[in-house]
Structure 1
């Protein structure tokens, strides 16, 4: 059967009770193996791999907060011998750990104890141009000017001219959006907006994994440019979605600008109200 852990206050330890004194150890073993097969099959190492963290962090933050069973050495050996003979589980079971956590309860805990925040939103400013031909011409001229620029000063002058010329092609809404554009140097000044609704990504990764051979500052800037969602787990573990693989070509696209996510939400709200008033015949 599933044995008690040493911690008597372990409220999330799941007990497998015998129905009566006549219940055989074999029946209890079947129940435990079915639990393992259906749900209770995450070990501390598994969770550490999912969150890309140390086992100690899992023990401190997850163990007492997620439903689990505890199996001692003797009972684990017994369960493996039972499964070998009766094939209760679809795959051969090698029980190496003491703790086995409910997969469903773990992901429930993870969602409830994760705060998702977002600093920026990428906008394709090309969508707000009144004159696409002029916009395209200005963009091509800017690309040529950047190729010919020999110093950072000449690059800066080319960019300033580009930005002034682009503004003249934009609609009023586009000019408003463009006025809020950010550079990577604003990263520390823009507050993250807490997302009310979000889905956890298929795989969470640490900033160290994302950085690879690049410096952390480069990766932080790239995440800022991309409007990456930051996931903070249990107030201590910061993770990002694995699909934020660095592709600098995206950041160099002159059509893409970044604005504070807070401003983006206000613009979306204004647009929704505008459409609503049109549908109601108020405009």
Structure 2
């Protein structure tokens, strides 16, 4: 075979291969995937509709979530029709959110804890949502003021319950900046140093990553498994959940920051998302009882 012939053959093979390779790299969701998603959406809608007879408030909240998913599904249909391509990840994201609503409607909320090398240990980076029991304000708080928050969900490691809902986290105000009349904004730095689980108190090191709004806890207790993000279930645990508090940002080290010229005000009942900054071995000896 001459050099010219070999080059021509190689060019032909490359021409035939390229479209196949490109297709493999860009392969995504299909119309069949969207049709299956629509069927799943209809099933969940029916379940939420039946929920109105037993828990109208919960049904209304889930109904609003479903409306957003309907809009997302419509967007995906239009995108597939116009671009003739649709990333599978976008469909998977909608499917996951729909699955979470389905679990909420059926009362089988599931969340997972961060992976840990040891049994009975809360790993670094695990987050839990806890409801603040007393109000806090940068206008009145002092460094070393104590406060408490109670966890909203059961935290599991596999089938083992690590932290039941209602466990108490003890916090301390580690820093305060009061607002000025001009532009200095108030701030509160919060840290958590103790956690009481089933009457046993352990030393922890935790910080706040978000301050969340929600007027009330829904009837059932959520179940969380080690490793899952706390945000995966927060919408189902809080009635009328609104998300991050307006006017409060969270800086490094758990600092709550107000708008310029204003003080931080965090009402009792606010949900604080707490991140564990050190591992907690729940099988270890607890702190001694105070005398």
Q: TM-score, normalised by structure 2?
A: 0.22
Higher helix share: 1
Higher strand share: 2
Question: Which structure would you say has the larger Rg?
Answer: 1
